[in-house]
Amino acid sequence: MGDRRTEDTAREHHGPDEELLRVIADAAADVARVERMRIEIEEGFDLLRGTEKAVSLFGSARARPDQPHYRLARSIGSGLADAGFTVITGGGPGVMEAANRGAVEAGGTSVGLGIELAHEQGLNAYLDLALDFRYFFARKLMFVRYASAFIVLPGGFGTLDELFEALTLVQTGKIHDFPVILAGSDYWGGLIAWLRERPAASGYLAPDDLDLVTVSDDADEIVRLVQAGWERQHGPEPTHGTV
C-alpha cells in the first residue's frame, strides 16, 4: 500500500512536466512535418516548372498490356503527345505505364508522380521526369496545378479519389473549363447511372452536375475534348502561317 501511494505521489508530481514535455515534442514534430511538406511541394514545383500544356491521367496499376484499358490508355497518351500535351500520371504500372508509354513512343514528354507506399511496385520505365511523394495531398496538388484536364480510366479507390476531387473542384468553381473525361463506358456506365439515380434524384447533386463529366471510348475524341478545354482556358492556338 505504501509503495502505491509513493508511486501515485510521484506520478502527480511529475505528471504536468511529463505532459508538457510530450506536448513540446509533438509540437516540434509538427513543425518538422510542415517543413517536410513545404520541401516536397517545392520539389514538385521545381520539377514541373515550365509545363504549360499538360493532362493528368489516372487508372489502375493492375491493368495488363493485353487488356483493352491498357491499350486505350496507350493510344490516349500517344494522341495527347501528338497534340503537344505533356502526359502526367502516378508513374506506376498498369494504366499509368500505358499512358506514359504512349507519350514516349510519340515523342512527347512523360511525367510520373509516384507515392511512397509499402506495396507500390515503383516507377515505370517510360518517364522523362519523375518524383516520389510522401504526402498524397502534395502529389494531388501537382496533378491539378499543372493539368488542363483529367482523363480517368478504370481503377480502384485511388482513381476514384482523384476523380471525385477533380469533380468537386470544378463543381465549386475552384477550377474552370476543366474537362473531366471517363475513358471506358463499360466500366463507368454503372457509376454514372448510380449518380443519376441516387445523389441526383435525391437532390444532392444539381441537375447539371453530371454534365461536368464526359464518358468516351475513343482516344481521338478524348484528345479533341482535351484540346477544346485547353483552348477555352487559354484561347485558340495560332495556326501555322499566321502573323
* pLDDT value for 163: 98
* pLDDT value for 152: 99
**Residues 154/62, Cβ–Cβ less than 8 Å:** no
* pLDDT value for 145: 96
Q: Is 154 helix (H, G, I), strand (E, B) or coil?
A: coil
Low-confidence ranges of the chain (pLDDT < 70): 1-17, 19-21, 23, 120, 238-243
**How far is C-alpha 89 from the geometric centre of its chain's CA atoms?**
7
* pLDDT value for 207: 85
- 199-207 contacts at long range (C-beta below 8 A, 24 or more positions apart): none
Could you tell me which CATH number the domain at 51-234 has?
A: 3.40.50.450
**Total Cβ atoms within 10 A of residue 9:** 10
Taking only the tens place, the pLDDT of each residue in 74-96 is 999 999 999 999 999 999 999 99
* pLDDT value for 29: 83
Alpha helices (H) along the chain: 2-48, 68-82, 95-105, 136-145, 157-171, 185-195, 219-234
**How far is C-alpha 14 from the geometric centre of its chain's CA atoms?**
48
Q: Hey, what's the cell of 206?
A: 444539381
* pLDDT value for 216: 99
